[in-house]
Amino acid sequence: MKAAPRSEETKMVLPVSGMHCASCVSKVEKAVGGLAGVTSVAVHLPSRTVEVVFRPGGGVDFKALKRAIERAGYDVLGATETRSAAENLSLLAEQQEQSRLIFRLEVAAALSLPLISAGALNLSPYTALLLALPLQIYGGWHFHEGLARSLVRRAADMNTLVSLSTWAAFLFSAYVVLFPETLPPAARQTQWDAVAGLITIVTFGRWLESKTRGKTNEAVLKLMRIAPKTARVAREGKELTVPIAQVKVGETILVRPGEQIAMDGVVLSGTSTLDEALLTGESMPVEKAPGSRVWGGTINKTGSMEVRVSRPGSESAVARIVEAVRMSQATKPRIQKFADTVASYFVPFIVLTAVAGAVLWALYGPEPKVLLALTCLVSVLAVACPCALGLATPLAVIAGMGHAAELGVFIRNADVLEETSSLDVILFDKTGTLTRGRPQVVEMVVVGGSREDILRYALAAEQRSEHPFASAIISYAKAEKTEAAPVDYFEAFPGRGVMVKSGGKTVRAGSLSWLKEMGCPVPAAQSGLLTGAVSMLGLAVDSDFLGAFILSDTLRPSAREAVERLVAMGLEVVLVSGDRNEIAYRIAEQAGIGRVFAEVLPEEKMQIVQRLQSEGKKVAMVGEGFNDAPALSQADVGIALASGTDIAIEAADVTIMNPDLTAVAAAIALSRRIRQVIRENLLWAFSYNLLLVPVAAGVLYPRFGILLKPAYAGAAMALSSISVALNSLRLRKV
């Protein structure tokens, strides 16, 4: 996991234009990383940004960073402290580049058509040369510009290969037109189709790759577009609409039906249902009442509410999610670092291979030697594609992380993907994770009186109580459409129960032992229920025991399905809980979990994780409470529910916004799929070059007469990058 910058360090994110392949990434990282005072540098190719962490006062500042990057041959568009601002500048520059590319593509296509059809149109050699000249210079300018920069920085990249191949074909063809008598008759063949095909097809491929690359980031862009920009605030008795940045923590915002919740907060008044699909992926609306937490960006469906702001707009759930997804997309998994290392040596190797092959054909090949040598040189340069290597991992990570965000799953960084996809054991906390974390009435026992009387008096007694059991009794009674008995007097006895006066009668609701102390005899059968995996709240009127409510923390509806999915994926599922054995085993049985650790302290949860890791197993811990933080930190992958405590979320590698526990299985399945797509992309990129470079060099020509034409080589080069992008896009729909 990437460590956060220390307080004495400064982070700067620079949008950089001109980066197109893995070689570019390697050159920029080397140029910036070599500066004294720079502690880390991360180049993100898809968004074309460079994140630098450095120590101030060591001679490193924006000017020094800009100078180093420009010496490497790239343009710095500005300096920001946040990735989002840098990406906005980079996105604008990329949109402008796309406009230039599409215009150059149109010009190149218009000039290429008559060149490719020169024979059929009976074009004179000089007419073809006049058409090829603007095609080569203007249509391929972006490649030649890259070649010039590579010469300045003495480091080759993809532009180097394309520019050299087109210049070789163009200059040879121009020589054939102007000085044909100096060449053998068999070698007097122009290569205009190679010039036209390479420039047009590779430019089209770059434009299409850029468009496809943009689609992988749609999830983050969607969050940014949907995120609220203003809030209605109650100030001095007036309703004011102000930008979110001007709303302070503690202020009250007003939300009407159909409006977005502007900021994270707590409901002060009003009840409603909220559409939280933006954050959780859950389509069902969620009920909210006074005291409920709400998230900025969610949609208020029905009633009006007043919400007290608990976080500034820059730290709202949506803002933190966008930043978390951006940061996770910008990190590199270990496998990509290997690919970058290979790519840094790849272009020089290809240039040497092309030159060596051309020399061998010119010296030892059959006639026409010169033409075959040129075809070999141009084809090898054209077919090699470091772009596919550079994009194989980042595009898969961006598409996968974006889809995870749509599902309400937020992964801290790319290294977590590898850990998550290779898990062996999943540890679940019980209270608040597998269970709802709040007691519910599971049964009502009637001893004396009627069911209606018990509910009326219980509702009257508990309406003013703050005990966790009170809300369960109130919900149960209201579900039965009960009207509370009138209350003349109320008194609470902390830890024991409550007493109210109602119509001249004394009503007590509380523990059975307390009712006994108050002179209310409790039947032995009911008293015996106090032990075991349940809790009980009794009700007595005057000295008559009327009945009791059996309460228990209930399993989340999705828990059993989540466990079944995880087991089906080959994972061992274990329950760890600080609760009593009988309670933990009962919940485990309901969830379908066979292995249980009960009555354990927070540090013992961490020790259980360590014990499993010592057995060579990859362990994930799923929790939501303060006491889960040590185990979440120790686990190979910590998974926290967003409904839990902030410390648990901070300690976790993965945050699940959706209360549906099947999202845990979905997160693991998606991580496995992302890893698989990364491997497919890298396998394709390596295999493509290993197979086609020798073919382009002509190894099949002596025996089979197969020689790869430069235009086809350029098409294959463009296709390799596009195929990697399209394969990554499949992750948006898994």
pLDDT score for 638: 87
- Residue 602: CB atoms within 10 A of its CB come to 16
DSSP-assigned beta bridge partners for residue 654: 411, 639
pLDDT score for 133: 94
pLDDT score for 528: 47
- CATH class, 10-91 region: alpha beta
> Which active-site residues does the annotation give?
429
User: Tokens 């490719």 — which residue?
Assistant: 116
User: Tokens 């937490």 — which residue?
Assistant: 293
157: closest CA among 143, 139, 136, 140? 143
pTM, whole model, 2 decimals?
0.62
Distances (CA, A) of 475 to 269, 286, 299, 459, 469: 18, 16, 25, 9, 10
Range 436-555 classified under CATH 3.50.50.60: no
444: closest CA among 427, 456, 430, 429? 456
Residue 616, CB-side half-sphere exposure with 13 Å CA sphere = 0
pLDDT score for 83: 67
161: closest CA among 390, 382, 386? 382
pLDDT score for 153: 66
**From CA 76, how far away is CA 60, in angstroms rounded?**
15
**DSSP 8-state secondary structure symbol assigned to residue 55:** -
**DSSP 8-state secondary structure symbol assigned to residue 448:** S
pLDDT score for 410: 79
Residue spans per domain, the chain: 10-91, 97-217+327-398+677-733, 228-313, 436-555
Tens-digit pLDDT profile for residues 628-661: 778 888 888 888 887 655 555 666 788 887 778 8
pLDDT score for 402: 74
For helices 158-178 and 334-364, the axis angle rounded to 10 degrees is 20
User: Tokens 């203007």 — which residue?
Assistant: 138
Which fold is adopted by the domain 228-313? 2.70.150
Per-10-residue mean pLDDT, the chain, length 734: 54 82 76 86 79 80 86 80 71 78 90 85 89 92 83 70 83 86 74 81 74 57 67 85 86 88 88 74 70 83 87 73 58 61 73 87 83 82 69 74 78 76 90 79 84 90 80 86 88 85 90 87 61 71 89 84 94 87 85 89 85 92 78 86 64 78 89 86 80 85 80 72 79 68
User: Quick one: tokens of 75?
Assistant: 């343009």
pLDDT score for 657: 78
Is-contact 623 631, C-beta < 8 A? yes
**From CA 710, how far away is CA 161, in angstroms rounded?**
12
Tens-digit pLDDT profile for residues 429-458: 887 788 877 778 888 888 887 889 899 999
pLDDT score for 577: 85
For helices 710-729 and 369-383, the axis angle rounded to 10 degrees is 10
684: closest CA among 345, 332, 393, 352? 393
